[in-house]
Chains A and B, each alone.
Chain A
Amino acid sequence: MQRTKNQKAWFLVLPVFLLVAFSAIIPLMTVVNYSVQDSFGNNEFFWVGSEWFVEVLNSDRLHDAFGRQLMFSGIILAIEIPLGIWIALKMPKKGWAVSVCLVLMALPLLIPWNVVGTIWQIFAREDIGLLGHTLAALGVDYNYTQDTLSAWITVIVMDVWHWTSLVVLLCYAGLSSIPDAYYQAAKIDGASKWAVFRHIQLPKMKRVLTIAVLLRFMDSFMIYTEPFVVTGGGPGNATTFLSIDLVKMAIGQFDVGPAAAFSIVYFLVVLLVSWVFYTVVTASDAEDQS
């Protein structure tokens, strides 16, 4: 294409540039600004340099929240990805059942985060919730407000219920893009079901799986609303994940400086993990092509 010989195009980009500036860049710079200063109110700020960062990085509180966060993301990925693939494989390929399944699958995704939290908060209550009451009646020792394990299970089951559909839908899209000829050829070659999965379905789903893992990792790493509504981060700090901790620090205690430093570290961690993951996957993709 021919290169333009004037600078008119910049004017066309300007509105987007302004929008991004107001929605992302300026708030981000405000956070950076807070993270290197201290304030005792009255809008007076003092330069503190990297002090908050040192404090935040050395705080046990952050380490604990970070550990809980990693464990949570790890567990839900380990459940949702295989479960999602399995459901996608089991879904019907044609006919009216396809639309029914797709609608059913999409339903949890359409419910607002806080509503999901509220649903499970009530559903799992021992006194009035169907699940909690049934479990109690069966003699299972279950109480998510008291017991750490119960709280974790509740939060994880809730996330799996809410988000496995996303993995299913992505995998289903990947699967339906495989031409019939592949399945026919595999039949002719006498391939077992496992071989078909290993050598046809899995390789063809690789790209969508990459996206699924990335999305689920980032989302779960930043989870806030649902556990906040159900457990409020408790019992104790048992389900206090990074974002809940951050909010406690910034809003609850009004430690704006450390909270800002915390958010920047948090942001960088998500960015770093996503980047590493993406690079590794695309590199192995490039290897496939050569």
Chain B
Amino acid sequence: MALELQSVSKNVDGETHISDVSVRCNPGEFNVLLGPTLAGKTSLLRLMAGLDEPSAGRIMMAGQDVTGLPVRKRDVAFVYQQFINYPGFSVFDNIASPLKIAKISKDEIAARVEKVADLLGLTPFLQRKPLELSGGQQQRVALGRALAREAELVLLDEPLANLDYKLREELRAELPKLFQNTGSMVVYATSEPEEALLLGGQVIVLHEGQVQQAGATLEVYNSPASLQAAMTFADPPLNVLPAIKSDAAEVKSLDGDLTLKVNGNASAVAEGAKCTVGFRPHQLGLARTSECEVELKGRVTLTEITGSESFIHVEAVGERWTALAHGIHAPEVGAEVSLFLDPETAFVFAGGAGNG
């Protein structure tokens, strides 16, 4: 039943959209496809759906080669960023539409639609037209169509991107639960790292058409395989510091002013070689929390307040970094602040920041 992409590439007009991608999705798994705009998320979803054919490579479904098989012969559901429903159909008929095409008995259709509507909280609106509903409800109808048909493969292309912030928060919490018991393979494309973390499951980190890393979401977040994977899976941006490995357990910044005792984290880097130290905003604090932290001086350029956390943009050691403070903290712009970093939690990647 698993979906497997084997060295799949896709070129359009001489441009590479997808380059040598091999991934495997298992039944019942919630897979998050994470990458910035233009990373090739939609291209990959279209290949998985069979809307496009790959230029090279094979697509296997349950061990069978389905590479050339058109989408209507596959068992796939697709939900888009835009709220796409049949405007003339009622909510009931919208959800029932794929079942009618599949020639399922009327009673069965009614039962399934009712079940799905109940799950999505759409029961009171079944007789309304989609345009009479709010954006969140419209997208629920589109999700309902995907749920009701119980497809083997459900593809979701940034389905929450057009919704208000709070609505997004609510639907995002519901989504993995909705698909949990269907046995479908779900692939959910998003450009927001935060969303990937909230959804959990498995993650495929995509950058410029190439898979940077794939695996359990938290594992990828906590131990990125490359600088690029760490940068793609980071919002706000990853803090980086170009450095040189000066000792078995130490790295020095390029100007030599800052020495970080990274211990075992730099084991992959040869001594004396260039490397890049990366750490996330929550690893850079405004208050000391442990003995091993290094204190750095920085100048505040802006504070972004999300409502329960503050991201403080600073200039320190000649770099632009972001520190995280819980709660609301808004130091004056231009103020000098102390920053605390535990070097042992930082990632150290071989090579410079530019070619990472």
Partners in one complex: yes
Seen from chain A, the residues whose Cβ lies within 8 Å of a Cβ on chain B are 1-2
Chain B residues lying within 8 Å of A1, measured Cβ to Cβ, are 52
B53 proximal to A (CB < 8 A): yes
**A2 CA to B47 CA, complexed, in Å:** 11
Residues of chain B within 8 A (CB-CB) of A2 are 52-53
Q: How far is the CA of A1 from the CA of B53 in the complex (A)?
A: 8
B interface SS class: loop
Contacts of B53 in A (CB 8 A): 2
Closest-CB distance, B47 to chain A (whole angstroms)? 11
**CB-based closest 3 A-B pairs:** A2-B53, A2-B52, A1-B52
- CA separation between A2 and B53, bound complex, in Å? 6
Q: List 3 A-B contacts (CB under 8 A).
A: A1-B52, A2-B52, A2-B53
Q: Tell me the bound Cα distance from A234 to B242 in angstroms.
A: 88
Once bound together, how far apart are the Cα atoms of A8 and B36, in whole Å?
40
B9-68 residues with Cβ-Cβ distance < 8 A to A are: 52-53
Shortest distance in angstroms between A18's beta carbon and chain B's nearest beta carbon?
Answer: 29
Report A3 CB to chain B, min CB distance, Å. 9
Which residue of the partner chain A has the closest CB to B68?
A2
Roughly how many angstroms separate A1 CA and B52 CA in the complex, as a whole number? 6
Q: How far is the CB of B104 from chain A (nearest CB, A)?
A: 31
A1–B17 Cα distance when bound, in Å, is 13
Least CB distance from A68 to B in Å reads: 50
Question: In the complex the two chains form, what is the Cα distance from A224 to B200 in whole Å?
Answer: 73
Smallest CB separation, B346 vs chain A (Å): 45
Shortest CB-to-CB span from A9 to chain B, Å, is 16
Closest B residue to A3 by beta carbon equals: B53
Smallest CB separation, B18 vs chain A (Å): 14
User: Looking across the interface, which residue of chain B has its beta carbon closest to that of A1?
Assistant: B52
A249 and B289 CA atoms in complex are apart in Å by 101
In the complex formed, the residue of A with least CB distance to B12 is A1
Q: How far is the CA of A229 from the CA of B53 in the complex (A)?
A: 61
Residue of B nearest to A2 (CB): B53
- How distant is the Cα of A1 from the Cα of B43 in the complex, in angstroms? 11
Distance, CA A1 to CA B51, complexed state (A) = 9
User: Distance (Å) between the CB of B57 and the closest chain A CB?
Assistant: 14
Closest residue of chain A to B53, judged by CB? A2
Give A2 Cβ to nearest chain B Cβ, in Å.
4
A38 CA to B355 CA, complexed, in Å: 77
The residue of chain B having its C-beta at the shortest distance from the C-beta of A5 within the complex is B68
Q: Determine how close the nearest CB of chain B comes to the CB of A8; give it in whole angstroms.
A: 15
**How many Å from the CB of B69 to the closest CB on chain A?**
12
A226 to chain B, nearest CB (A): 44
Set of chain A residues within 8 Å of B52, measured between Cβ atoms: 1-2
A184–B52 Cα distance when bound, in Å, is: 45
Q: Please give me the residue from chain A that is nearest to B70 by CB atom.
A: A2
Q: How far is the CA of A1 from the CA of B47 in the complex (A)?
A: 11
**CB-nearest residue of chain A to B51:** A1
| Bound Cα distance from A2 to B52, whole angstroms | 7
Q: Tell me the minimal C-beta distance from B144 to chain A in angstroms.
A: 30
CA distance A2 to B67 in the complex (A): 12
Nearest CB of A to B14, in Å: 14
Q: Kindly state the separation between the CA atoms of A1 and B10 in the bound complex, as whole angstroms.
A: 10
Give A95 Cβ to nearest chain B Cβ, in Å: 24
A267: min CB distance to chain B, Å: 36
Question: How far, in whole Å, are A23 and B288 apart by their CA atoms in the complex?
Answer: 85
Give the distance in Å from the alpha carbon of A67 to the alpha carbon of B174 in the complex.
75
| A255 → chain B closest CB, angstroms | 53
Least CB distance, A36 to chain B, in whole angstroms:
44
Per the bound structure, the CA–CA distance linking A105 and B52 in Å amounts to 47
- The CA-CA distance from A130 to B53 in the complex, in Å, is 71
| Complex Cα spacing A1 to B71, Å | 13
Q: What is the bound-complex CA distance between A2 and B71, given in angstroms? A: 13
Bound-state Cα–Cα, A2 to B68, Å = 10
Give the distance in Å from the alpha carbon of A2 to the alpha carbon of B56 in the complex.
12
A1–B11 CA distance with the chains assembled, in angstroms: 10
Q: Taking the nearest CB of chain A, how far is it from the CB of B50, in angstroms?
A: 11
How many Å from the CB of B154 to the closest CB on chain A? 24
CA distance A69 to B106 in the complex (A): 69
**A6–chain B nearest beta-carbon distance, Å:** 13
Report how far A136 CA is from B53 CA in the complex, Å. 77
The minimal Cβ–Cβ distance linking A5 to chain B, given in whole angstroms, is 10
